[in-house]
């Protein structure tokens, strides 16, 4: 495409256009268009680095590099830069400043018209999970769903409840979890009663999965319960109990994993739960 | 990293997880036990149950009323429930507005009763 701001006979513009013939994926940008880089992240100190080459109407290829600091709460961070009139030849976006696992940082590159986040999106160049070693790129990159592909597996230490209080862990804003396992200890007080913990998964209001512990715990005992996908109810000689549940449950933000304990007493005390989850960033 | 104790639920947690990830505490529901006290059925917290209260338990396949002081090891209490904790803390972020550049500004959903550093 010949730049609208240049005469079709302008030698520099014609030469610049000719150079794009060797780069068929080049994206023409008017002076009103801008490159917008956005990111969602959970890794401390991670930044996005967007770099590439731009062919101006003067026929000069210029490289560029922009850094975007990211939040760690899955809330979007963006920067918008005008590159001028010409052709975006190539772009790569990767993580810098931190070592992140695939799925912990998601990046997107778009062409917008207008300022900052109120701009009109004209094109999405590439979108997907990035690391320091695995960028997203234009051209030849892909636009992937934020929940496509494997998530990032990580261990979460939950809240240590006070005595007489059940365990409850909530999927954070902007996240989607597949619960792989949850392990917790229960110390019962001297009150004569048989407690039976159940692992419950709900949407914040309505329960959609409940698995009872299958075994009771009497007074003055310490037992460890592990709920994990597959397997069967089992108890070993050390008093550790396995609770099977579905490992295909996908929990959206606001959903909860919690215990509901039959005969819970005021002096009973759960320890901090340890969860293993596969997490995708859905963003906020 | 800081270890905090929630004033609403008494739970303790670390603000940073291993690996540097943030943790967003949300208070658990408040467990309630159905008792009959002075002839009146009511829901009370676990630490408010009295030995002279009566609770319903499943015993030998039937639901019967027993004094709290007379509950047997294999009795299973029925009628327990849970409610949202009053003044609960929810540290999950919400977008509260946008700055002059159009970037989101965030706050936590509910500060609740606050926290103390442990």
B window 85-114, beta carbon within 8 A of A: 90, 92-95, 98, 101-104, 106
Q: What is the rounded distance in angstroms from the CA atom of residue B40 to the CA atom of residue A46? A: 58
The answer to whether B46 faces chain A, any CB pair under 8 Å, is yes
Average pLDDT over residues A39-66: 94
A263 in B contact zone (CB under 8 Å): yes
pLDDT digits (tens, 9 = 90+) for A267-279: 999 999 999 999 9
The per-residue pLDDT for A201 is: 95
Give the distance from residue B112's alpha carbon to the nearest chain A alpha carbon, in angstroms.
Answer: 16
Give the per-residue pLDDT at A242.
Answer: 85
Q: Look up the pTM and report it.
A: 0.89
How far is the C-alpha of A14 from the C-alpha of A235, rounded, in Å? 78
State the smallest CA–CA distance between residue B29 and chain A in angstroms. Answer: 8
Confidence at residue B27, expressed as pLDDT on a 0 to 100 scale: 97
B31 touches chain A (CB under 8 A): yes
Q: Is A116 exposed, middle or buried (0-12, 13-18, 19+ CB in 10 A)?
A: middle
* 3-state SS class at A144: coil
* Chain B CB contacts of A159 below 8 Å: 6, 9, 11-13, 25, 28
Instruction: List the 101-120 stretch of A: residues with Cβ below 8 A of B.
Output: 115-118
CB within 8 Å: B72 and A192: yes
Q: In this model, does residue B42 exceed pLDDT 90? A: yes
CA distances from B77 to A183, A185, A198, B38 (A): 25, 22, 14, 19
- Mean pLDDT for the stretch of residues A186-213: 93
pLDDT at residue A7 is higher than 50: no
**B51, B42 Cβ separation under 8 angstroms:** no
Q: Percentage of chain A surpassing pLDDT 70?
A: 89
- pLDDT tens-digit profile of B16-32? 887 789 999 999 999 99
Residue-wise pLDDT tens digits, A218-252: 999 999 999 988 777 777 767 788 888 877 889 99
Residues 30-59 of chain A whose Cβ lies under 8 A from any Cβ of chain B: 42-45
Phi and psi, residue A183, nearest 5°: -130, 140
Question: Closest approach of chain B CAs to the CA of A6, in angstroms?
Answer: 32
CB proximity A197 to B under 8 Å: no
Query: Is A175 an interface residue toward B (CB < 8 Å)?
Result: no
Note whether A77 contacts B103, CB cutoff 8 Å. yes
Question: How are beta strands B40-44 and B12-14 bridged, if at all?
Answer: unpaired
Look at A10-24, A41-55, A89-103, A192-206 and tell me which has the smallest mean pLDDT: A10-24
What's the rounded Cα separation, in Å, for the pair A175 and A284? 9
CA distance A153 to A275: 10
Handedness of CA A270, A209, A252, A132 (dihedral sign): positive
CB of B12 within 8 Å of a chain A CB? The answer is: yes
Q: Torsion angle, CA of A189/A193/A198/A203, rounded to 10 degrees?
A: -80
**Minimal Cα–Cα distance from B23 to chain A, Å?**
8
């Amino acid at each position: 495409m010949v730049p609208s701001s240049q005469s079709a006979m302008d030698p520099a513009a014609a030469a610049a256009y000719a150079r794009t013939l060797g780069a068929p994926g080049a994206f023409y940008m008017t002076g009103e268009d801008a490159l917008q880089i956005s990111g969602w992240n959970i890794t401390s100190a991670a930044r996005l680095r967007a770099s590439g080459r731009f062919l101006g109407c003067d026929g000069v290829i210029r490289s560029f590099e922009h850094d975007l600091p990211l939040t760690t709460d899955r809330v979007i961070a963006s920067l918008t830069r005008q590159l001028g009139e010409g052709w975006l030849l190539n772009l790569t976006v990767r993580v810098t400043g931190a070592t992140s696992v695939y799925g912990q940082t998601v990046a997107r590159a778009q062409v917008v018209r207008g300022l900052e986040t109120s701009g009109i999106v004209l094109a999405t160049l590439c979108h997907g999970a990035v690391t320091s070693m695995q960028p997203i790129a234009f051209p030849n990159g892909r636009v992937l769903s934020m929940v496509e592909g494997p998530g990032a597996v990580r261990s979460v230490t939950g809240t240590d409840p006070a005595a007489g209080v059940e365990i409850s862990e909530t999927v954070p804003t902007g996240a989607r979890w597949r619960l792989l396992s949850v392990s917790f200890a229960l110390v019962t007080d001297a009150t004569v009663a048989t407690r039976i913990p159940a692992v419950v998964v709900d949407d914040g209001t309505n329960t959609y999965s409940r698995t009872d512990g299958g075994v009771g715990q009497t007074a003055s005992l310490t037992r460890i319960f592990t709920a994990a996908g597959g397997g069967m109810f089992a108890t070993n000689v050390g008093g550790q109990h396995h609770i099977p549940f579905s490992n295909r449950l996908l929990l959206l933000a606001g959903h909860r994993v919690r215990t509901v304990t039959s005969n819970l007493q005021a002096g009973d005390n759960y320890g901090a739960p340890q969860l293993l989850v596969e997490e995708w960033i859905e963003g906020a | 990293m800081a270890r905090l104790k929630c004033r609403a639920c008494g739970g303790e947690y670390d603000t940073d997880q291993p690996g540097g990830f943030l943790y967003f505490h949300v208070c658990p529901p408040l467990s309630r036990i159905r008792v009959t006290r002075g002839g009146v059925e009511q829901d009370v917290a676990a630490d408010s149950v009295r030995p002279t209260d009566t609770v319903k338990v499943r015993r030998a396949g039937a639901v019967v009323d027993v004094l709290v002081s007379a509950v047997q090891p294999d009795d299973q209490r029925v009628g327990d429930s849970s409610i949202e904790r009053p003044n609960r803390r929810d540290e999950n972020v919400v977008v509260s507005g946008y700055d002059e550049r159009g970037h989101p500004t965030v706050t936590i959903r509910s500060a609740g009763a606050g926290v103390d550093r442990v």
